[in-house]
Chains A and B, each alone.
Chain A
Amino acid sequence: MIKRNQLVLGNKSLKQITEDIVAPLERLPSKGWLGMFLSAKALFLFYIIAIAIVVSTGMGLLGVNHPVGWGTMIITFVFWIGIGHAGTLISAVLFLFRQKWRTSVARTAEAMTVFAVMTAGLFPLMHTGRPWLDFWLFPYPNQRGPLWVNFRSPLLWDVFAVSTYATVSMVFWYIGLVPDFATIRDRAKNNIRRIVYGALSLGWRGTAKNWSHYEMLYLLLAGLSTPLVLSVHTIVSFDFAVSNLPGWHTTIFPPYFVAGAIFSGFGMVVTLMTLVRIGFPEFKDYVTIDHMEVMNKIIMTTGLMVGYAYGSEFFIAWYSGNAYERYAFINRAMGPYAWSYWIMISCNVIIPQLFWFRKFRRSIPVMFVVSIFVNIGMWFERFVITVTSLHRDFMPSNWGMYAWSRYDTAILVGSFGMFLTLFLLYLRLFPAISIAEVKPVKNVGYEGGHH
């Protein structure tokens, strides 16, 4: 049995742990937090206005056109959905693998998932020509015959996948929060706090019977979320893979998208966690440098997977002998949108290679910068897939370019406003680390970590 690194530093008592973690909830917001929150809020409002203008005037305001029918909105949708995946992965998959280190990051990662999915979920609804009729995408009985929906359309699969994913991950997250809410309830100094968190805790009382059911449910949800999270990005990839454009119609998409999702997701987790560690120093003992290193390892691994996917795409395009397919990929790397392709390659494949070196894996500034690059790179991956495949397909007569407009920029930037607003609120109002989950592992690494 190998000696484990300590998961919680400074041999804390149960009380200390509780106090450390709930500290951000019980003190007044710091200037830094306030500043970030207000700017995020402003961005969010800007986002709402931009959407309002686009929806009321018409999709024509965005760069989408003929032949490039999908643009920023779909790209950013896939981007955010991808971000979401790391959360579920950490909380569910690593839980199944009994990875104890997950406990301290799981909560925040899940929160990220929930907010990312919320941000993403809006896009498919907004990007339609007549968003006010989006409810037609759901199979409900109606007075048109009734006229149902087309279950063969990948977009409909999306509707089911994304809404299921949103629901389940939200439930999963909330169930995890329940005992911690109880803790906060019991620490509450004033009545309002007690009532609010009391309500949120659903009257949790932590008897042994409860705990045994609770742990079973947690295990089940983890078991359900794992295939779910894989299915969601698989289905998102079907939007492209099941259609028949050269560059979209490829069988490698599902695994490639999932890997990419995890890749970008961990990128985002690292970005956020480095910030959280700065914002709330007391978390440094729980989200240790070891945690960060493990995640960086995952980033590097998945980065390699994605790189492999890029490579094999090209190989298959050449090997298939399909002229359209070949052209599509040559066009990606050498065509008018080559720049976006090479941004993608350098951000997703080259830069993460830094993490071969332990020194960089454990350096907060380095990992922060790299994670940012990863996020940029992954957005561009979706840009490359969506736009470069559409803008030159079968018939050269209707090849064209994407007409990027300032509304595209507004929508893209604005979506970050929405995400950050939610996330910052979460940091202040919810325990950012799972209290009940950290306590059992507080001794790991102190007495040779039996358990």
Chain B
Amino acid sequence: MPSARRGVRAASGEGADPMDKEPASVRPVFPKSINFFRPVIGIALAAVPLYIVMLVYYGNSAEATRVGYEPDQPVAFSHALHAGRLGIDCRYCHTTVESASHAAIPPTETCMNCHANIRAASAKILPVRESHATGMPIEWVRVHDLPDFVYFDHSAHVRRGVGCISCHGRVDKMETVRQEKPLTMGWCLDCHRAPEAHLRPPELATKMDWVPNEDPFVLGKRLRDENHVNPSTDCTTCHR
């Protein structure tokens, strides 16, 4: 019996498939051209996921989302003028920077100390005069905005000789304040792990245009030993 199933004749004789009676050729599922597209398809398959990954990665990176943030402020206050050309020290206005965690945004009074008589009439400082008169505060827009679960202490950094510019950039050259640095955890860690490059004599911390007259790393190394700067990378240093 099994031998009955041998040979083409027998098989086609089964009539199992009607194909035999039809013309010998069929149209393939895909046209010949598709083979030329294989490389394209291949590349696409590889590239698309890559693109998405990149998109997400850069999308989350501070460079894409934060750096360069430069909102309009309610008062056209120019750091470039005050800190730069007039050379007023940061601490004149940000009084608590050496003693407290916040480098307090100055109260309107501070502005009026000078502007009571300097340019008192200028339209630019109208909102300041108003605030001073009414006691209503000026609502500045926050530029350097750390997440709420991060505890940063200005005094701890300034007292060790970490210059303002290390985190804020050359504010004395900014008409309106702009975020220069990513202020991400990774970025903080870089400095906490190797602070040398950012150390200067503490008394010069606020000096914007200061440049070391020797190799900053050599200096930094020395200052680090002198001022016992051993920044910690423990989580609890910033997260509580």
Do A and B make up one complex? no
By a beta-carbon cutoff of 8 Å, the part of chain A in contact with chain B is: none
